[in-house]
Every structure is written in C-alpha cells, then in structure tokens.
Structure 1
Amino acid sequence: MEDPSGVLTEEEEWWLSDRERGETAPALIARFRCEKLKFKLYASEGNHSIIFYGSTDMKNWTDIMGKILSFAVEGEDYAEVDFKGYAFIRIVLRDDPRPNRFLRLSK
C-alpha cells in the first residue's frame, strides 16, 4: 500500500479512499496468480477515477488501461482488468478531493 496522506481505510469488504484537496491519491500494490480480475467499485457523487498499472519488477510501471471509471452520480460499477504479462498490479484510487466524496474498491 502507498498512502502518504493517510486517506486509505480498510473496511470489512472494501478499501475506502476519502481524500481532500492537496492530499495524495492512495495506491494498492498486489501480486495476483491469475491474468484477469473483476473489481467491484462504489463511489459517492463526484469526479472519481481509478488507474491500473502493471510491472514485472515493481520499479517500472506501465499504464494497463488508461484512466477508467468516472462517476457523476453515486453508484456502483465494475472494472475488469487483464494484466497478462505483469507480476504486480498497482491500483491508484483518485477520488474527488471535495468534502464528503469517496471511492471504494472491493477486496
């Protein structure tokens, strides 16, 4: 986990990002033993995005899909990610930095 601003919270089923203006977006780094995963996301109303990066060595990161998932209204969505050829995945949660805005990613 990369969370220099301390905005990422671990809940029972979710990772919750609730940052404010000026705080750094948190990132989760994981190693998966499969090539494709489907993530469940839930966000408040606002301008949110999630970015997936892949790496073979945890030093050089490649943007896998570009910026995906933008929420204009509160709701739930899914992101399916194919990370074939990468040993590690870095997931950056860019929630809207205005007050009372959040982004959740299922574990």
Structure 2
Amino acid sequence: MSEINPLRDVYDAIADPTRRQLIRLLAEAEELPLHELTAQFQMGRTAVSKHLTILKEAGLVVDRKVGRETRYRLNATPLREVQDWVAFYSRFWSTNMMRLVQLLEEEEE
C-alpha cells in the first residue's frame, strides 16, 4: 500500500472534471483496478494513470499491487478541507436566501 503524503493541493487535484469523475467512481466502489477505471473514459490507460497520480499526490487515492494489477481506492479524508471551506461560505448563501424571502414577502404585502 502507498504511503499518503500530500504533495499536491487538494483543490488542484479536484479542479479537473476527469479527476472528479475518478473520485466518484472510487467512492461508489470499494476498490477498482486501473483497467476498470480506464474503461469509463474515452482516453488511454496512460492518461488515466496520470490523473490517478495527481489524486494520489493529494492523498485522495491509495493504491496497492495485487499480482501484476494495481488497484485504487478512495481516501476521502483530504476532502474534509474542501467541505470545511465551503461550509464557511454557506452562511453567505443562507443570508442571501433569507433576504430574498423577506423581499418576496414584502412584495406580497
């Protein structure tokens, strides 16, 4: 099993739609081999491997060798940083929604 050593920013890792799709696929399965992940995309094995390497550098993916096959699984712990960041700003959305409701109620009166 690989050692988790975040060499890359988690935000950079999730910025790409292909990597977000890889995260989703791994979240839905306990563990997937490279060939099964590659089958989900219209790109070659090397391109998928590069995306997985970026996710691995951010600590989002862990791999292990099983014979000649490499299997990947999600480590969602680094996503907590993203969740915390979004949660901080959610208060602004709530405030704006409350203002909108008040405005709509005032217009009805």
Larger Cα Rg: Structure 1 or Structure 2?
Answer: 2
Higher-strand-fraction structure:
1
Greater RCO (Cα-Cα under 8 Å, separation 6 or more):
1
- What TM-score does the superposition give when structure 1 sets the normalisation length? 0.29
Higher-helix-fraction structure:
2
